[in-house]
Amino acid sequence: MVLIQYICPKCRCHLLWAMRTATVYCRKCDRWITVKELKEAYPLEMDPSKEKEQLKMF
């Protein structure tokens, strides 16, 4: 199971860790954030190759 940290693309508020299928609500902006929006806002952080690099460190 892979958890993603949901960060609101609009206010950059850290919300919670949830599965990729989840949709997380930002109270500040009164909007729902999906993984698709996260990928568009933070493409580097969601890059799978970065996950592999992190694994090498362990």
Provide, rounded to whole angstroms, the least separation between the CB of residue 46 and Zn ion. 18
DSSP string for 5-22: EEE-TTT--EEEEEETT-
Comparison of 30 and 53: residue with beta carbon closer to Zn ion = 30
Provide, rounded to whole angstroms, the least separation between the CB of residue 27 and Zn ion. 8
Q: Which of residues 1-58 bind Zn ion (CB under 5 A)?
A: 8, 10-11, 13, 26, 28-29
DSSP-based three-state secondary structure for 1: coil
* Residues making contact with Zn ion (CB under 5 A): 8, 10-11, 13, 26, 28-29
